[in-house]
Amino acid sequence: AQKITQTQPGMFVQEKEAVTLDCTYDTSDQSYGLFWYKQPSSGEMIFLIYQGSYDEQNATEGRYSLNFQKARKSANLVISASQLGDSAMYFCAMREVSNFGNEKLTFGTGTRLTIIP
C-alpha cells in the first residue's frame, strides 16, 4: 500500500504567487516524522522542512511552511512568494520502520514544480 501519496505530478505557478504541494500519508504508528525535500535538476536532495507527529504547531522555515493536518493525514508544503529558483522536483517523505525492522525514509513519487516568469 502506498505510504506517501503526492497526487500532483506537475505544477506550473506564476512567479511571486504562493503554491501548495499536496502530500497525504498512511501509518498506524503514533510517532513519525514527515519531511519535504527539494531536488533541482543537479540531483542534490535538499532538506526543506520537518514536522514531527507530536508537534502541535505547523513547522515553518523562511518561505516554507508545512500545513499539518494530523486527523486527515496530510502534510502539505506551502511556498510563499515563489521564485524562479524554486523550480525543481519536490518530495514528501515519512520516516518509518521497514518490514525488515530497519528505519528508513519512504518517499512519495514527487511533484515537479515549474515557476513561470
Q: Which residues bind another protein (CB under 8 A)?
A: 29, 31-33, 35, 37, 42-47, 50, 52-53, 91, 95-100, 102-105, 107-110
Residue recorded with cell 501548495:
20
CB of 33: closest distance to another protein in angstroms? 5
> Residue 105 CB, nearest distance to another protein (Å)?
6
Q: Which helix (H) or strand (E) holds 77?
A: strand 74-79
By beta-carbon proximity to another protein, the closer residue of 34 and 79 is: 34
Strands 111-116 and 10-14 come out as parallel
Q: Which is nearer to another protein, 88 or 95 (CB)?
A: 95
Comparing CB distances to another protein, the nearer of 78 and 89 is: 89
CB 66 within 8 A of CB 59: yes
Which residue number, 64 or 107, has a Cβ lying nearer to another protein? 107
Cα dihedral 8/48/101/31 (nearest 10) = -90
- CB 17 → another protein: shortest distance, Å? 26
Separation CA 96–CA 104 (nearest Å)? 6
Q: Which amino acid is at 76?
A: N
Tell the smallest beta-carbon distance from residue 77 to another protein (Å). 15
